[in-house]
Structures are given as structure tokens and as C-alpha cells.
Chains A and B, each alone.
Chain A
Amino acid sequence: MYAGVASAKDLIVGKGGEFSTIRSAIESAQDGDRIIIKSGVYREGALEIHRSITLTGEGKAVLDGENKFQILTVKASGVTISNLTFENVGVSYVQDNAAIKLIESYNSAVIDNRFRNAFFGIYLSKSGFCTIRGNDLIAAAEKEASSGNGIHLWNCHDITIENNSIQHHRDGIYFEFVKRSTITGNHSIGNLRYGLHFMFSDTCVYEDNIFKNNSAGVAVMYTKKITMKRNRFEDNWGAASYGVLLKDITGSDIAGNAFVNNTVGIHAEGTSRNRIAGNEFLNNGWAVRIMANSTDNVFSQNNFIGNAFDVATNSRQNYNVFDSNYWSAYDGYDLNRDGVGDVPFRPVRLFSLLIEQYPTALILLRSFLIDLIDAAESVIPALTPETLADANPRMRRLP
């Protein structure tokens, strides 16, 4: 008999298998082995994996943390975890207990698992080239302090996060110091704080995700070269809730997204040299709120439809470009019928400037007096930034 790497075995845990506990199977597994866990509930406390093995469930295999333990800690590369259900991770105010924690792990994968009532769901630290796909996470977060993030990445690179669904955690997806990662097709809904929250995470790509009904929306900070395409930011309502809050974001591309029914669609602070194009801003309180410390951003080919305020700012100066957008509030004309309005559109209403300074004045929204003042201001701008205007407003909604 040879004892080599090539002779990968299947180790069966549970009914009809040679192992009764996952712990014993993990202990006797060699690199390349596959542990198959039959249906049943396994209460084995905290488990650690130190070899490149595959852990997969058959039927409904539940790993229960009994509200006390972190469940699975992976300290090896090339580990695959799939088809398992993780329940009841212990809440700790000192440690970030997770259902699955990957530490210094490369080329690992977490695929098609279910997480119920996990404190932290999937936690990656100092890892790279991993895939997190098709997982379904539902927690019951009530307080920020006693709840954890769904998918949490710290100091990672080249991670792929695809088609996961995260609900009722603290932050749906949380990144800190993450590079070159791809986040596609995820649904982050109803989380206690942010649907997506990242900082210091350059050159990541976010595509086709849905961030909906999170109490603070999405906040991204201190990052360069993000690509955000075709995402939906929806129903993020509240006093401090944003479709997307951009803080110190530079050189990024935000295109083809939909911002629907948010208190604020995009809030930009210290945010420069970004391209915001082809997005749809629909029925938001404020579609875009751009602070005076944001410069050289280009807003073009966007649709602004039915927002209470299209653009708000806190300054009379303007260092950003608005060009060729469609504004449903535009009432100009197009004599030569080339589809471009003949008079510029000024999206900043005097009233929006007023409530930046006197928030209580909000009670006069849609009052006759305010409409009169706004009309007068739009004819002769005296207080609103004169250069903040779209010189080529579209007459029809852009596709």
C-alpha cells in the first residue's frame, strides 16, 4: 500500500459512516480528503481545520454552536466548505465569533451553505483567492453591539463574493483593507446598519447587487478605484440613511445603478474625480447631495426622476460637472428638436440650500411660497451655485 497525497479518501460522518463526530473525522483526515457529513444536528463546540480538505453536507447537516461557540475555524489553504447549515453562533463582546472563520487561508471556497442566527457569518482574515458563493445568511440582529456582520473581510485580497443573500445582520458585507475583490449578484436586505460597508479597500468591483431596506443604507469610505455597476440601492429610509454614502472616494466608476426610494441617493463628501454615469435616481428625497469638499466629479447621462430634490449642496461654489442628464423637473424647451434642451437646467433649488442651513424649514416643502421663491431663483440665480447647471439637459428619459 502507498500512503500518498494522491490517494484522497471520503470520510463519512453520521448515519452509516465510520465516524460519529466531525471532530474525529477532521483529526484523521489528510490533505485532499473529503469529509461527507450526513444529515443530523452536530453539537461539537469549536472545530478547527489545519489541512486542505473538503467539508460537505448531505441532506440537512446542521452544525450547532449552541449560542456559545465559534463553529468552524479554518487555518489552512485549499479548504472547501459546502452544503452545510450553521446555527446559533455564540455572541461575544470580546471576540468576533463566526460560523466560518478563515485565517490566512488561500484558494478556499465557502459554497451553498445556510447560516441561521450566526453572530458573524463568514469571516475572512489575511486571506486571498477565496470564493464565497451561493450562501444564505439570516440573523436576527436587534442591537448593533450584540450583532455581527454577514460577510466580513479584513486584510484580504482577490476574493470573489457571488450570489449570496444576507439578511438582518449588523452590516451585510463589511470590508476593511481588501484589495482586488469582486462582489457580484448578492442581496443584502434589512440589515441593522449598512448593507455594504467598506473602507481602505481599493480596486474592488461591485456588480448586480441589491442593497435594500438597510437602516443606514450603504457607506463606503477612504477608497480608490472602485467599480460599481448595475447595483440597486432601494428603500433605505431614515434620518441617517443613504443609498450610498461616499466619503473620500476617488477615481471610481459608478455607472448603471438604480437609486430608488432612498432618503438620500448619493451623499458625497471629500469625494473626487469619480464618474457617475447612466444611473437612475427615482423618487428619492435627495437624489444627490454633494458637499463643497467634493471636486471634479462628472455626472452624466443619468436620469433624475421624481426626486424631492435633485441636487443639494452646501456651497455657492461648484467644482463638479453635470452634463447631458435627464431631469424630470426640467421645464425648458427644445426648438431645434435635437433632444437636448435649449436652456440649461439648474438642479439646485434655493429651498434645498435653505434647509441645509435651517432644517426646520422642511415643513414648508411644496408650499406655494416656496414654489414662487424657487421659480424666481431659477430665473435669476442669486444664492444657488450659478455654475452648477446642466448645459445639455435631455428632453427624454435616457434608456
Chain B
Amino acid sequence: MDGTAKILKYEFHNILRSKWMIGYAIFFLVITDGLFRFVGTDAKVILSLMNIILAVIPLASIIFGAMYVYHSREFIELLLSQPIGRKNIYWGIYCGLSLTLSAGFVAGTGLPFLLEGVIDAEYLSALMLLLTAGVLLTWIFTALAFWIAVRYEDKVKGIGAAMLIWMFFTVVYDGFILLVIYWFDDYPLEPAIIGMSLANPVDLARVMLLLKFNVSAMMGYTGAVFHQFFSASTGLGVSLSVLILWAVTPFLLGLRYFQKKDF
């Protein structure tokens, strides 16, 4: 793993030098700070942040990720000519990008909370869950991006596919859930719907966070069923494991492809 660490180090240098990474952190900083100024209470800030995070992080991670791999193609080819394993190279580049993206997000979002000094125990766990969800989403969509980028040689095709995947998870999939609810209205759907939301990382993160914030609308009968599943420690454990699985699977798929790929 020595090779991985070395690549990781250079990746960090490289990414931190470029300005867009700083911009990414500042974006979250400005949004969070703005919400504090205009929305007020910390519970509401977290709730509003949730909507932004659920849309922006997947989009940013998947587009950045894909572009990054395309841009680093020459660098990768150079590395391949060195006596370093392909596995190490892939690990190094993936971790370099996903860790800096997560760091940018955590710093940008967390700093205003620290500065406002509003972190009381009640919201601390909600904030932690929000940051965890954001970081996991970053890993998931960066892994997806890498997979796409090594899979498609053509940059335009790759970016297009990345956009489509983002659209699918944030919009199309929910439409599909809606259709299922409409079609199978006569059946007890709650377990099936819980299953379906586990299968989409964006939905999963959203439901997990919503129930954490105790949105009172979720307390009706249906809400109670969801609440029972997701807020129990097993439910939270299952949700987090599924999110991690969502990051690991595309990563391994991408890695396998990368190892066999003919450059």
C-alpha cells in the first residue's frame, strides 16, 4: 500500500492547488452561513441544508469525478509505465479525490456551525448524521463517476452517462416509486417502499435524515411504520451499511475494469 499512499499524497497536493476545490468548500460555507443568517434556528438550517446537499453533492461528485479521471488520463498513463500496481493507482486517485471532496464539504458546512456555537446536544447528532450522509454520498457518486470514466473512452459519452445517472437517482427513481404506489394502492406497500428506498442512495439518505429530524408529518400511520424501521438502531445500521455498500460496489466494479483495461 506504499504506492497508494504516495499517489494519495501527490493527489492531495494537486487537488488542493487547483482553485475549484476551494470554491467547492466556499460554496457550502456561503450556503450554510446564509441559512444561519436568514433562516435562524439550527434545526431548520440542518433541514434546509439537507435539500441542498441531496441535490448538489451527487451532481458535483459525479461530474467532478468523471472530469477528473478524463483530465488525469495522461498522468495515469505515466503512472502505469512505472512499477506500481494498477490497484494502487486506482485506490490512490479515488481516495485523493473523494477525501478532498468530503473534506471540503465537511469544512464548509461544519465551520459556520462551529462559529455560531449553536451545537447543542440535541442537534449535534442530527448534524453528525447530515455530515455522514454527505460524506457517504460523495464516496458513492465519486465511485460511480470513476466507473463510468474508465468504462467510456469518449469524454462526452462519459459526462452524458454521469448526468443520466444523477437524473435517475434524484428524479426518475422517485417517479418510479410514485408509479408503484399508484399501481399497487390496494396492497400494504410500506415494506416494499422501504425496500425501494434502500435501493437508492439519495432516497435513503433523505429518509434517514427526515426521520432523524422528527418531521411531524412523518408521524401519521405510514410515517409511524417508516419511523419504526429507520429510527431503530438496527434500521440506522442497515441504512448506513447499505450506503457503504453503495460506495463499495461501484468502486470494485470500476477497479476490476481498470485492472483489465487496455490503455
Q: Residues on A close to B: CB < 8 A?
A: 237-239, 241, 261-263, 283-286, 306, 308-309, 358-372
Contacts and interface: CB of A to CB of B under 8 A. Distances in A.
Nearest to B55: A368
B171 A359 contact: no
B: contact size bracket: 20 to 34
B207 interface: yes
A311 B230 CA distance: 27
Interface stretch (B83-91, B157-165, B177-185): B177-185
Among all A-B residue pairs, the 6 with the closest Cβ atoms: A285-B217, A308-B217, A285-B216, A369-B174, A359-B222, A360-B189
Contact of B218 (A361, A362, A370, A372): A362
A361 B180 CA distance: 10
A23 B178 CA distance: 70
Contacts of A370: 174
20 contacts: A237-B216, A239-B220, A263-B219, A285-B220, A286-B217, A306-B44, A308-B215, A358-B181, A358-B185, A360-B189, A360-B193, A362-B217, A363-B207, A363-B222, A363-B226, A366-B206, A368-B55, A369-B171, A369-B174, A372-B171
A266 to B, nearest CB: 14
B157 to A, nearest CB: 25
Contacts of B170: 368-369
Contacts of B222: 359-360, 362-363
B216 A261 contact: yes
Contacts of A359: 220-222
Interface of B: 44, 50-51, 54-55, 170-171, 174-175, 177-178, 181-182, 185, 189-190, 193-194, 197, 203, 206-207, 210, 215-224, 226
Given A261-B216, A363-B193, A369-B178, 10 more contacts: A263-B216, A263-B219, A285-B217, A285-B220, A358-B185, A359-B221, A360-B190, A366-B51, A368-B54, A369-B174
B216 A360 contact: no
A239 B224 contact: yes
A366 B224 CA distance: 17
A362 B218 CA distance: 7
A237 B185 CA distance: 26
Contacts of A371: 51
Contact of B181 (A284, A360, A365): A360
A283 B216 contact: yes
Contacts of B182: 358
**Which of B170, B181, B215 is most buried by chain A, counting CB atoms within 10 A of its CB?**
B181
B185 A362 contact: no
Contacts of A369: 170-171, 174-175, 178
A308 B216 contact: yes
B220 A368 contact: no
Contacts of B175: 369
Contacts of B189: 360
Contacts of B55: 368
**Which of B51, B182, B220, B224 is most buried by chain A, counting CB atoms within 10 A of its CB?**
B220
Contacts of A263: 216-217, 219-220
Nearest to A236: B216
A309 B55 CA distance: 22
A284 B221 CA distance: 16
Contact of B223 (A261, A362, A364): A362
A241 B224 CA distance: 12
Contact of A362 (B50, B54, B174, B226): B226
A365 B178 contact: no
Given A360-B189, A360-B222, A365 B197 contact: no
A370 B171 CA distance: 9
A366 B210 contact: yes
B231 to A, nearest CB: 14
A136 B224 CA distance: 34
Contact of B174 (A261, A360, A367): A367
**Which of A241, A358, A366, A370 is most buried by chain B, counting CB atoms within 10 A of its CB?**
A366
Given A362-B220, A365-B210, A285 B174 contact: no
Nearest to A284: B216
